[in-house]
Amino acid sequence: MSEITRENVVREARERNVKFIRLWFTDILGTLKSFAITIDELEDALDGGMGFDGSSITGFNAIEESDMIAMPDISTFKIIPWSPKDAPTARMICDVRTPEGDPYVGDPRYVLRRALERAHEMGFDNFYCGPELEFFYFKDSSAPEPLDYGSYFDLTTLDAATALRRDTVLALQELGIDVEYSHHEVGVSQHEIDLRYDDALSMADAVMTYKTVVKEIATQHGVYATFMPKPIQNQNGSGMHTHQSLFSNGRNAFFDPDDEYFLSETAKQFIAGQLRHAREISIIFAQYVNSYKRLVPGYEAPVYIAWSRRNRSALVRVPLYHPGKEQATRVELRCPDPAANIYLCFAALLHAGLEGIEKGYELPEPMERNLYHLTHEEREKLGIQSLPEDLGEAIKEAENSELLHKTLGDHVYNRLLQLKREEFEEYRVQVTPYELQRYLPVL
């Protein structure tokens, strides 16, 4: 494969008759933002970036300091598969900068870059992530009306979305994104496409692309795809189980052949860090009011803060070691949902794990019992805490979190808390159909 250079990008764009290039970046909530430039502007964009008004981007600067620069990352140049074949459109993911050329502190991609710098300073070459994003297909966006009533691993005829998943996988492959699995999930009309693990920044870019592709292919088929965490009341919500590992000098820093769990001290401290800080970073991996409708007992979403090897009711699971697969040693955090801002999510998970390593947190014994079957008193006796029950509780945890402040920096931390307080207050004063149905006839 030839080296990716500015000249190679320009050459490929012209040889393939690209007419437009869409520049992508994300706002503070992880919503994809984009604007297009023509091929004639490409070289200038690669040299100095393209200016835009940041005052209308959620969580960015106020109007009096709104000038921003979108600086394309040349490694992300890809032809968009569904654009016209004779005059295609390409996309490039951007870092956001200030007019002076400095990284913009409100850019979620920069927040993740800073987390990776901390890992490098601690001697880790790579932080690998492999998220499993679940989603639903509905007939349209007006109501959660399923396309099928299949369940886990079901195939035709119950699985009406086989063609949608197939076309989605093919589009992802055209974009250079490796796919491992594609299948029907537990919920009706719920699906999952798993991406092959990659370094955290590349994977975060891939997730943003993945979510766009899933929605675009669904639209082409006349249906609607959603990553809403809990769209159907009595069905499982959509999770984003996230596999993680740290590498140092090309070797998996989580593996120890002499440990009873085959986990190094580094791995144990990393897990302990994520467990200890789970409540205060929940506002990142479960950022919406609806996220906490998913995080309830009985629907496979983990609520209780513990770790295990086989027990999927725990917050962190360590997949069993197979001889010869030392490099695959990893930890799986099961609480994030796919509506999270993926850049902030990876950054928060990494910082929490590194905090455990840096401060030598001690990992408790694994909890192999089904945590849902324990009583509140039993869990309390075992010292097992729960995740916040709603966004309001998550906000209170975040307000007192030094780790989260360090992870996000002043700007993102303060803007995010402001947005989440507004969201929860708006939600809190709603009078719901449930309340009207339950109370109006009797009170």
Which residues are identified as catalytic? 53, 132, 134, 185, 192, 241, 312, 332, 334
Amino acid at 314: A
- Joined together, the tokens standing for residue 82 give 């569904």
Helix (H, G, I), strand (E, B) or coil at 249: coil
Which residues face 34 on adjacent strands? 24
Amino acid at 407: T
386 contact partners, CB below 8 Å, separation of at least 6: 303, 304, 305, 379
List Cβ<8 Å contacts ≥24 apart for 396-399: 397/279, 397/280, 397/282, 397/283, 398/280, 398/281, 398/282, 398/283
Element (H, E) at 135: strand 126-138
Which of 266, 271, 303 is CA-nearest to residue 286? 303
Asked if residue 157 has a cis previous peptide bond (ω within 30° of 0), the answer is yes
* CA angle (427 as vertex; 423, 432 as ends), nearest 5: 160
Task: State the angle between helix axes of 402-428 and 108-121 in degrees (0 to 180), rounded to the nearest 10.
Answer: 150
Task: Return left, alpha or beta for 102; rule: phi > 0 is left, psi -120 to 50 is alpha, else beta.
Answer: beta
Distance CA 283, CA 421 (A): 11
